[in-house]
Amino acid sequence: MLNLVLVGFMGTGKTTVGRKLAKMFGLKFVDTDHEIEQVTGLTVSEIFKKYGEVRFRSEEKAAVRRVTRNHSQVIATGGGVVLNPENMERLKETGIVVCLTAAPEVIYQRVIRKKNRPLLRTEDPLHTIKSLLAERKSFYEGAHVTVDTSNREIDGVIAEVGRIYREYSAKTKE
């Protein structure tokens, strides 16, 4: 069975949606950030603080290589996984890649209370969100499908992504 890969900016619901979809389909749930933390023994924030973004992206690439060796799983990725074309290529080879999106203001409201977002440790986090979204727009467009999670109930998003996954899986079996 194919993987269901969730990409998108932080705060768009990748982990929450991914866990519920994995349970719904009886698939394993994998979070690439969690994989990185397991291997390094450090949190994502600690990696950024101690070694910087370049080192984190290297760990992220290795995590993508590891998780894409398996099938029949839901993979939630870090928001910047799309920045490396090799990551996207590997993710697309093993399944359907769904990009979850949300309006910058919605993302801001979802993540502002969390202190584990190293890229948002700025004077104006909303401006940073808008800038990063603009920089990554063309990368996120590399996904097979995009689903906007702004102002939507989680169950509606899960139903939509689940339908997309079932349809895509049926097409690849033909």
Q: CATH number of the domain at 143, please.
A: 3.40.50.300
pTM check: above 0.85: yes
How many whole angstroms separate alpha carbon 33 and alpha carbon 44? 7
> How far apart are alpha carbons 83 and 141 in whole angstroms?
11
Kindly give, in sequence order, each residue whose CB lies less than 8 Å from that of residue 142, ignoring residues fewer than 6 positions away.
Answer: 82, 88, 92, 97
pLDDT tens track, the chain, 174 positions: 899 999 999 999 999 999 999 999 999 999 999 999 999 999 988 998 899 989 999 999 999 999 999 999 999 999 899 999 999 999 999 999 999 999 999 999 988 876 666 556 767 888 999 999 999 999 999 999 999 999 999 999 999 999 999 999 988 876
16 CB-near residues (< 8 Å, 6+ apart): 154
The tally of domains found in the chain comes to 1
Q: Which residues span the domain enclosing 154? A: 3-173
Backbone angles phi, psi at 12, to 5 degrees: -95, -10
Q: CA geometry: angle at 62 spanning 90 and 80, to 5°?
A: 70
